[in-house]
Amino acid sequence: MRIDKLLLKNYRQFKDLDISFLKKGENDLHVIIGKNGTGKTNILNSINWCLYGDEPHLSKESQQLPILNLNQISKIEEDEDKEVYAKLHLKTENGSCITVARKAVYRIYEGEKIPVLQKTEFEVCVPDAKGNVDIKKGEDAESFIERLVPKSIREFFFFDGERLDTYFKEATVQNIKHAIFLISQIDLLENKIEKRLKDFLSDLRKEAGKTNPNLESIRNKLEEEEENLRTHNKNEDEYQEQKTIAKKEIREIDEKLRGVPDVDALEVEKLGYKSDKKSAKNIKQEYMAKRTEALFKYGNYIMLWPALKNTIDTINEKREKKELPPPIDIRLLSGSLKEKVCELCGHDVDSKSEAQIKKLIEEIKLSPEDSKFLLDVEPLLHRIKLALSEYESDMKDLSHHIIKYEKELEEIEKKIGKIDKKLSGYKLEKVRSWHENRKIQEGQRDKYLQLIAEEKVRKMGCEEEIKKLKQEWEIGLKKEEKASKLRNDTGFCSKAHEIIKEAKEIIINEAREKIEEETQKLFFDLVWKSKTFKEINILETYDLELIHAMGYECLGSISAAERALLALSFTLALHDVSGFDSPLMIDTPVARVTDENRENLGKIFAKVGETKQIILLFTPNEYSKEISKILDMKSSSRRSCELSAGEIESSIKEL
């Protein structure tokens, strides 16, 4: 399906707009370029309003303004009606032309400035094969549009490029699953046919059960088990959802923690350094005390050295003269003189002997006590002399150790400083709370993984029981001759139900796999760091994973631009794989993408335009040369959106 034409009357900035999107050449790509505020986004809003009656992309300014064109409001007279009108001419794949028109009538009452809505009309005209036109109004028209372009998935064909980077933040497993189901029409199989056939089967079984109480008992048990299975499925879905939420929280926390240091680990490291610092300080102080002690002890020796040396020399001299140790005890000589008798030989001391004794006393001079003192201090003095010879090297050694520990302390201080620097600027409590929250979310994720596994086991049990009961039912039904028609109908309905279930499972998996493959292909074509990423996975649970080349999941840590490209790739893949028949309209498609990668994006858009209508609304900044050089050549139409004089109305001009 494509948009042939859009007509607007009195819709916001557009007093009178008649714009065709005819395909010229091979490419159904259309470009509108306009600054912010010129009404470019309101073109998208007008299409939404026409189809669904709402305007999901209104700017804050537009939200304050009425939908009726301001110039018309100024001209409107009291009790006069003015219409806001939007009409779309659509063409389906088989060539049918459908028109969709919405009208809202406003009136200004006396004394009022704001127009009041009087009525709305909504009409869809659908031609049949014979050329007759079926005019649908109100609910009928809405149902028709819902089948054609379902409102619940419109974000996959009419969307705002600036919201793309938040898509995977806000998208849950259910959103992605819902999008795939609706766009591939799996929704039709699961929620309509499968469900309704099941109800029908249940009614047929009830009727069959009335023929035989045994059959009724089997039927009741079967219904009970089927109900249990539904419950387990529902539980599993809910746990999947909760698990995805937990994973999303973890991703968001990882994004917050990106670049943030591991605070606890750093604090532990810092404590280690503080302990090392204390040890080094203690050792240094020990060496300093040793040095002070050495200075004190050696200091006295050094200052007294002349006296000490003199004493050593004197002792040596006495030794050489054999005066030390003295040959005779001087007290013997003194005693002999006093008693006038020699204490050694006992002879009388005559004058000659007296003179000899006096001479000896004169020569000896030192008392035994004094000699002993000198002999005792002699080794001490020599030790002091030796110690002094080692003084300088001892002091050097001590200084060397002190310097070594000073340097070590400096290094430790630097390390502590580095940690403090890393931690500064971060609110440590907040970072810790993120880490704690992450642990909690990991716990939640693991808890739900466990619960999912348990539900799977219970489901298997139910399925086995159901299979058994169905067999009993078949056997029981065969025995009932009265129920031959019922048996036939039940068999038919049951088989149809099985087939639709099996077909649905295959289509779901294939759709998921194909979308995964196509998303990956498109993303790697678009992204500039293609070697950084290894693959994209859309799991059976509809979790989307982006795997880094190093093997870990990295969706939470990619940039806003990369996230936008991923969302765009996913959307384009959805369209491509499902063959979903709707045009694609994107407002500000390259808002998050830098210049050099716009060329890639331009090529992708041009390629999409070969098989599907694509309408792109750019700001002049977005439509840089990288993208214009591709799209100028490929586009079927290029227009500008400009504000006219008075800045209340806009117009579209061909470029």
Partner 1 sequence: MSKTKINPEIIKWVKEKAKSDEKISDFLLDLIYEEAEHAGHWWWKETYKKKLEEYSKEWKEENEN
Partner 2 sequence: MAQIQDRIYMDKKDKELYDKLDDESMLKHKGGNRTRKEQFLFAMAVGFEKGVRRELEKRKELFNLKDLKLEDEALINAIAINETKSISIISQKNEVYKIAEEYAHGGIKLLVDEIQSCEFGSFEKLYEKKLKEIIIKLHI
Residues that bind partner 2 in the complex, under the rule CB under 8 A: 289, 292-293, 295-296, 298-300, 302-308, 310-311, 314, 318, 365-367, 369-370, 373-374, 376-377, 380-381, 384, 388, 391-392, 395
Q: Residue 571, exposed/middle/buried by CB under 10 A (0-12, 13-18, 19+)?
A: buried
Tell me if 354 contacts partner 1 by CB under 8 A. Answer: no
Residue in this structure with the two tokens 């080349």, named with its chain if needed: 549
Three-state secondary structure of 262-297: CHHHHHHHHHHHHHHHHHHHHHHHHHHHHHHHHHHH
CB atoms inside a 10 Å sphere around CB 158: 22
Binding to partner 1 in span 502-521, by CB under 8 A? 502-503, 506-507, 510-511
Contacting range for partner 1; rule: CB under 8 A; set: 222-230, 324-332, 484-492, 636-644: 484-492
Which residues make beta-bridge pairs with 136? 124
283-302 burial, b if ≥16 CB within 10 A, otherwise e? Answer: bbeebbeebeebeeebeeee
Q: How far is the CB of 126 from partner 1 (least distance, A)?
A: 7
Contacting range for partner 1; rule: CB under 8 A; set: 330-338, 353-361, 486-494, 637-645: 486-494
Nearer to partner 2, 315 or 585 (CB): 315
Q: Residue 224, exposed/middle/buried by CB under 10 A (0-12, 13-18, 19+)?
A: middle
In the numeric block, which tokens belong to residue 420? Answer: 């403090």
Tell me if 578 contacts partner 1 by CB under 8 A. Answer: yes
Q: Which of 609, 615, 633 is nearest to 32 (CA)?
A: 615
Q: Which does 579 bind (CB under 5 to 8 A by kind): partner 1, partner 2, none?
A: partner 1
Nearer to partner 2, 395 or 643 (CB): 395
Q: How far is the CB of 344 from partner 2 (least distance, A)?
A: 23
Contact status, residue 286 vs residue 439, Cβ threshold 8 Å:
no
Q: How far is the CB of 399 from partner 2 (least distance, A)?
A: 9
Nearer to partner 1, 28 or 455 (CB): 28
Q: Which of 631, 517, 458, 476 is nearest to 29 (CA)?
A: 631
Q: How far is the CB of 84 from partner 1 (least distance, A)?
A: 26
Binding to partner 1 in span 110-139, by CB under 8 A? 126-129, 134, 139
CA distance 376 to 324: 12
Show contacts of 369-373: CB within 8 Å, 24+ apart. Answer: 371/324, 371/325, 371/326
Q: Which of 102, 15, 123 is nearest to 53 (CA)?
A: 102
Q: Which does 193 bind (CB under 5 to 8 A by kind): partner 2, partner 1, none?
A: partner 1
Q: Which does 305 bind (CB under 5 to 8 A by kind): partner 2, partner 1, none?
A: partner 2
Q: Which does 318 bind (CB under 5 to 8 A by kind): partner 2, partner 1, none?
A: partner 2
Contact status, residue 384 vs residue 308, Cβ threshold 8 Å:
yes
Q: Which does 142 bind (CB under 5 to 8 A by kind): partner 1, partner 2, none?
A: partner 1
- How many residues are present in the chain? 655
Contacting range for partner 1; rule: CB under 8 A; set: 184-192, 532-540, 542-550, 583-591: 184-192
Candidates 440, 496, 547, 648; binder of partner 1 (CB under 8 A) is 496
CB atoms inside a 10 Å sphere around CB 94: 8
Q: Residue 103, exposed/middle/buried by CB under 10 A (0-12, 13-18, 19+)?
A: middle
Candidates 488, 559, 611, 621; binder of partner 1 (CB under 8 A) is 488
CA distance 159 to 211: 57
**Mask 81-110, x = binds partner 1 (CB under 8 A)?**
-----------xxx-x--------------
Q: How far is the CB of 20 from partner 1 (least distance, A)?
A: 22
Judged by DSSP in three states, 194 sits in helix
Tell me if 391 contacts partner 1 by CB under 8 A. Answer: no
Q: How far is the CB of 269 from partner 2 (least distance, A)?
A: 33
Q: Which does 495 bind (CB under 5 to 8 A by kind): partner 1, partner 2, none?
A: partner 1
13 CB-near residues (< 8 Å, 6+ apart): 38, 39, 42, 69, 643, 648, 649, 650
Q: How far is the CB of 362 from partner 2 (least distance, A)?
A: 11
Interacting residues with partner 1 (CB under 8 A) = 92-94, 96, 126-129, 134, 139, 142-144, 146-148, 150, 184-186, 188-189, 192-193, 196-197, 200, 488-489, 492-493, 495-496, 499-500, 502-503, 506-507, 510-511, 578-579, 581
